[in-house]
Structure 1
Amino acid sequence: MYKLNFDTQAFLANDWQQAPKVYKGAFPDFVDPIAADELAGLACEEEISSRVVVTKGDDWEVISGPFEDYDQFGEEGWQLLVQAVNHWYPDAQPLVEAFRFLPDWRFDDLMVSFATPNGGVGPHIDNYDVFIIQGEGRRRWTVGPKGNYSRRGGNPNSMLIEDFEPIIDVVLEKGDVLYIPPGFPHQGETLTLALSYSMGFRAPSQQELAGQIADQLMDEDKGHKRFISSPGAESHGVVSLAEQQGIMALIRELCDDGDTVAKLLGKLLSQNRFELDVQEDESLDADELADALDDGALLRRIGGLKVLRMQGDSAPRLFIAGEAYVIDGASDDQLIAVANDVVVDAELALTPHWQAFFVQMLKSGYYYLAEE
């Protein structure tokens, strides 16, 4: 069980997406949810996104996983980063739960890093919010102000920027948390062997929204309405302001349709950037689900799965992993409860319309039966 000891509501009012902040001792008596060798084992798997960053003087080399061994990297000057550990390692879920004062749709993944002395990833800027939780060991973090920073070495494709003047310079120790909003440059330097946890929170970009609109229109064979212009033109080669506004009104019309918006956002916001640990089970039926729950089994969603209910949605549906699921007969309170709870209430799961839905979820590998 992980519980933050600072006022999360004050944080949301004063710091969220506004300014970086250090919370010393945010997790008293912090215990690492994963050991370094277990993390290294995850990075051996093909389907898990991992990389090693090697420090080379004032530069860094990135090597993508999977990895069979780490002897080649030596005893210092490198860092292993493994994405979406919460998808593959159930013991990491309690740490994720500590940050559910923020909505699930914003949560991206839990990245875990193991770093040797002098290991780091160099100065960079993220386009998402991140909480860095220090586990074993000590790391020094510097954070700079927002500004226009040049790419390192003048390379426009580099993820790194030139050095910055820090507004925060702190050594994180076990249980400390550093919050960094989007746009603030930062850099970590490892002082001792260390485990760190990065909790990332994202929001969709205009590009992602536009792509989702296009995908949905094609999937549903909609969006065929065309612009109708008034006769005549002020000039042969000029598109009038009225015509420009009329064409753009076609897009706004799509966004005024509540059902279209619910489906568009529900599908987009419930998607994951990284693979899920899906274990399909075609053998289970409704009777076996009922027997298992009666015997005390828990019906639990897999790590990282996003289950969302869109407020105001006229249909009784949930959005899961980029798809819409209609549960006929479900109440709004029930839909919200399933969206909120990682473990499903057994009584709810055994009502007829929900039982069929959860058998489908078990067969899809999105939920599984666990021991209490």
Structure 2
Amino acid sequence: MYTLDLNTRDFLQNYWQKKPLLIKKAFPNFEDIITSDELAGLACEEEVSSRVVVTTENDCNIHQGPFEDYAQFGERNWQLLVQALNHWYPETNDFIQAFRFIPDWRFDDLMVSFATPGGGVGAHIDNYDVFIIQGEGKRQWTVGNKGQYASKNNSTTTPLIEGFEPIIDVILEKGDMLYIPPGFPHQGQTITTAMSYSMGFRAPSQQELFSEVADNLIDNNAGLTRFTSQDEPPVAGLISQAHQQGMMDLLKDILQDPNHYQALLGKVLSQNRFDLDICEPEENYTSPDLKEALSQGASLYRIGGLKVLQVENDPNHRLFINGEQIDFSNIENKVVQDVMSTFVDQLQFDNTSCQSLCKMDNVSAIILSLLNKGYYYLSE
């Protein structure tokens, strides 16, 4: 069990997306979630996103996985990074639970690194929030203030920057945690062979949202209202201020209509950047199959990384799972909100809870559908 020693109310009020924070012994008695050998084995898999970063004097060289061996990298100045460990390694669930004071829709992934002495990624700036938790070994981290920074070697393609004046300079040891909001430059360097865990939280940009809005309008053949006007400008080549505002109002009408944006946000925010380990059964489960499994003591588990979201004030009884709408409207009105909240909150259902849910035929049908999509699985 991973217990985070943090006043979450104070953190959200004073630090979240505002300024960096160092928390020594944030996880007392912390134990590594995965061994370095297991991590190296995962990076051999085609489906898993991994890379090795080799630190040189003036730059970093990136090698994309999968990897068959690591001897080519030597004993110093490199680190292995594996993205979305939570998608492939169920043992991460307890650790992730400690961070659910932040909404699930923001959670991007749990990235894990194994680093040799001297390994690092260089000074850089991220556009997302990150919590860095130290496992075995020691790493030195420096964090600077927001500002304008030159790209490394004047390159237009590198995320690295030339450097910054530290406002935090610390050596992280096992159980220590560093929070870094978007826009703050930072750099980590490995002192002794080390394991580190990065919890990333990301929000969509304007560009991403507008792209999704456009795709959604096209897919649903919506947004067909054309601009009309009462007055025309006296000069033929002039786009009047009234016409400019009128056309923008067409967009505003769409963006302010919950009937449009609620489904859009539910779909977009329930999707993942990294592949999920979908557990589709070889043959579809039937109702007798489910009853038999539960009678044998099985519990129901959500696959790693799956987002199950509800949109507040949604007039429809539905959840959004991996970009899909899951309809709960056939469930009795007096219990439907409780059932939906249970699916949103729980990463797993023990046997007793699952049997209780399955007493309602319509809920049992939803569970069967989720099992057959590979979003949930049964296990003892």
TM-score band by shorter chain is over 0.9
Displacement of 1:221 after TM fit? 1.4
Greater shift, 203-212 or 186-195, is seen at: 203-212
| Alignment check: 8 A CA contact 1:280 1:363 kept | yes
Name the residue aligned to 1:365: 374
Name the residue aligned to 2:151: 151
| Alignment check: 8 A CA contact 2:125 2:186 kept | yes
Q: Structure 2: how far apart are the matches of 1:341 and 1:268?
A: 21
The one-letter amino acid paired with 1:319 is: F
Residues 269-288 of structure 1 aligned to structure 2 (within 5 Å)? 269-281=269-281, 282-288=283-289
Q: Structure 1: how far apart are the matches of 2:338 and 2:255?
A: 26
| Alignment check: 8 A CA contact 1:234 1:240 kept | no
| Alignment check: 8 A CA contact 1:293 1:299 kept | no
- Structure 2: tracts of 5 or more residues without a match: none
Q: Structure 1: how far apart are the matches of 2:289 and 2:54?
A: 51
Residues 178-193 of structure 1 aligned to structure 2 (within 5 Å)? 178-193=178-193
Greater shift, 317-326 or 129-138, is seen at: 317-326
* SS in structure 2 at match of 1:314: coil
Aligned residue pair count: 371
Displacement of 1:326 after TM fit? 1.1
Q: Structure 2: how far apart are the matches of 1:6 and 1:360?
A: 38
Displacement of 1:271 after TM fit? 0.6
Q: Structure 2: how far apart are the matches of 1:306 and 1:230?
A: 47
| Alignment check: 8 A CA contact 2:125 2:184 kept | yes
Residues 168-317 of structure 1 aligned to structure 2 (within 5 Å)? 168-281=168-281, 282-317=283-318
| Alignment check: 8 A CA contact 1:270 1:308 kept | yes
Name the residue aligned to 1:351: 360
Name the residue aligned to 1:333: 338
Q: Structure 1 vs Structure 2: percent identity of aligned residues?
A: 56
RMSD (Å), alpha carbons = 1.0
* SS in structure 2 at match of 1:300: strand
* SS in structure 2 at match of 1:37: helix
Displacement of 1:293 after TM fit? 2.0
Displacement of 1:82 after TM fit? 0.3
Displacement of 1:232 after TM fit? 2.7
Name the residue aligned to 2:119: 119
Name the residue aligned to 2:33: 33
The one-letter amino acid paired with 1:307 is: V
* SS in structure 1 at match of 2:369: helix
Superposition TM-score, scaled by structure 2 size: 0.96
Note if 1:129 corresponds to 2:129.
yes
Greater shift, 229-238 or 188-197, is seen at: 229-238
Q: Structure 2: how far apart are the matches of 1:57 and 1:154?
A: 16
| Alignment check: 8 A CA contact 2:254 2:260 kept | yes
| Alignment check: 8 A CA contact 2:116 2:190 kept | yes
| Deviation digits for residues 167-210 of structure 1 (CA, Å, limit 9, x no counterpart) | 00000000000000000000000000100000000111111111
Displacement of 1:332 after TM fit? 1.7
The one-letter amino acid paired with 1:285 is: T
| Deviation digits for residues 69-126 of structure 1 (CA, Å, limit 9, x no counterpart) | 0000001110000000000011112111110111100100000000000000000000
| Deviation digits for residues 133-171 of structure 1 (CA, Å, limit 9, x no counterpart) | 000000000000000001111111111001111000000
Greater shift, 247-256 or 305-314, is seen at: 247-256
Displacement of 1:23 after TM fit? 0.3
Superposition TM-score, scaled by structure 1 size: 0.98
Q: Structure 1: how far apart are the matches of 2:121 and 2:130?
A: 15
| Alignment check: 8 A CA contact 2:227 2:246 kept | yes
The one-letter amino acid paired with 2:139 is: R
Name the residue aligned to 1:322: 323
| Deviation digits for residues 243-295 of structure 1 (CA, Å, limit 9, x no counterpart) | 11111111111123222111010001001000000021133112211221233
* SS in structure 1 at match of 2:371: helix
Displacement of 1:237 after TM fit? 1.3
Displacement of 1:20 after TM fit? 0.4
* SS in structure 1 at match of 2:158: coil
Q: Structure 1: how far apart are the matches of 2:43 and 2:193?
A: 18
* SS in structure 1 at match of 2:166: coil
Q: Structure 2: how far apart are the matches of 1:136 and 1:277?
A: 27
Displacement of 1:3 after TM fit? 0.7
Q: Structure 1: how far apart are the matches of 2:230 and 2:79?
A: 63
Q: Structure 1: how far apart are the matches of 2:130 and 2:112?
A: 12
Q: Structure 1: how far apart are the matches of 2:122 and 2:100?
A: 29
The one-letter amino acid paired with 1:127 is: N
| Alignment check: 8 A CA contact 2:279 2:303 kept | no
The one-letter amino acid paired with 2:338 is: D
The one-letter amino acid paired with 2:339 is: Q
Displacement of 1:58 after TM fit? 2.2
| Alignment check: 8 A CA contact 1:290 1:350 kept | no
- Structure 1: tracts of 5 or more residues without a match: none
Q: Structure 2: how far apart are the matches of 1:129 and 1:114?
A: 21
Q: Structure 2: how far apart are the matches of 1:97 and 1:16?
A: 18
Q: Structure 1: how far apart are the matches of 2:16 and 2:23?
A: 13
Displacement of 1:337 after TM fit? 1.5
Greater shift, 44-53 or 329-338, is seen at: 329-338
Displacement of 1:16 after TM fit? 0.5
